[in-house]
Amino acid sequence: MRSAFLYATLSIAVATASGCGSDSSGSSALNPARDVDLTFSTFDLTNTPQAPDTLEHTLFSDYYAGIEPRGDGNTPENRETAKDIRRHIDIFIGATPAEDGKSYVKVRNPLDLMKQVISVGNVQNFDDGRQYISDRIGQSTAGTYNTRSAGASIRFTDQAATNAQLALNDREWRYQTLDWRYVPKTTSESSLDEKVYRTIQYIARSVDAAQQDQQPELLSLLAGARFSATHFSASGYNTPELATADFVSRSHGGIELRQEFIGEEKDTLFIKNSDQPVIDYSSHGVVLTETNPDCQRVELNYTMSEVQIYTSHNEPARIEDPEANPDDYENSEDVPTVPNPDYCVNQSKNDAKVVWNTVPTAHRQ
């Protein structure tokens, strides 16, 4: 379900996370990525008097609050569904809900931490990377910062978790990839020109089977974002045009959030292969052949202030092209395929199982 536009090219406060560490060898004139080794007082992200808007820039801030039903949609069933969605998100982003459950007061996950570290600055090599991309934009020359190709490593250590002797993946996060890539204007004048693409990848370190129950739920994440090159800044927070983040857990399947900040502003959450039903649709009078659909899509349209939920079960993502004649092909796997309209990702608006109006979300981040 990953978005091709991102994967084809592959503010944290000092008071909250005091990074101190080294930048070492590994860079080149055409790829300034180097080793980064930082120690933080904690990986927890919270709002503080010094940084009161930290949580506003976390991945799920707008979506988490924005799915709240209102008006005719503010029924007990819809409120319970919104609650179920949030509690499932909590598993992946390490969220501590606020008292009313409609927002969170703390998150703890590698993606939000990395994004906050980048936006605040003060990490020389990350600052160098963004400045390098900004310089290449000024020269209209393609450029790449990529830790993987430079052989550089990124390690974040949580001092409090280390002192408490918590599980390995609670106290140390290693990022396999941090990548910025500038694509200048080409003669083909593609819509993907004059863009900056960013990729962040984290994979939890392997542990013995006896230790797995002590580890955090999050196994891996892969996040991509596309930015307008003309508005890209070497400092501060850059608002993407499009973004996606894919999380995989140890025992609760996966979730993916796709975000659109241009045109029709919307966020779409995909809930994949969860062992337990995330949303009980029986209370909505929705009849499903299975209580646990294997594909759930929860779309929040900020412009329309509306949630639409789509589900499917045992439906493949693609099916054989109905206009193709299988007899024309020697092997069945050679028969061309098309997107399956019954798969939840491909369903049209008329296929939504549940729809409700939502509270407006001002100043979407």
d(CA 168, CA 80): 35
Helices (H), 27-99: 61-66, 76-93
Residue ranges covered by each domain of the chain: 4-275
Nearest CA among 248, 262, 234, 25 for reference residue 127 = 234
pLDDT of amino acid 95? 98
Strands (E), 1-153: 20-23, 36-40, 96-97, 104-106, 143-146
Nearest CA among 244, 254, 247 for reference residue 220 = 247
Angle, CA 113 vertex, CA 180 and CA 223 arms, to 5°? 45
Task: Report how many helices (DSSP H) and strands (DSSP E) the chain contains, helices first.
Answer: 8, 17
pTM of the model: 0.87
Sign of the dihedral defined by the CA atoms of residues 286, 289, 290, 292, in that order: negative
195: left (phi over 0), alpha (psi -120 to 50) or beta: beta
Tokens of 305: 């202030």
- CB 351 within 8 Å of CB 310: yes
- CB 278 within 8 Å of CB 288: no
Which pLDDT tens digits describe the chain residue by residue (365 residues)?
A: 434 333 333 322 222 333 344 444 444 568 999 999 999 999 999 999 988 999 999 999 999 999 999 999 999 999 999 999 999 999 999 999 999 999 999 999 999 999 999 999 989 999 999 999 999 999 999 999 999 999 999 999 999 999 999 999 999 999 999 999 999 987 777 777 899 999 999 999 988 887 888 899 999 999 999 999 999 999 999 999 999 999 999 988 899 999 999 888 999 999 987 555 555 555 554 433 345 677 899 999 999 999 999 998 889 999 999 998 888 888 888 889 999 999 999 999 999 999 999 998 867 75
d(CA 268, CA 345): 10
Nearest CA among 228, 223, 143 for reference residue 192 = 228
pLDDT tens-place string over residues 37-74: 999 999 999 999 988 999 999 999 999 999 999 999 99
For residue 194, the 8-state DSSP code is: S
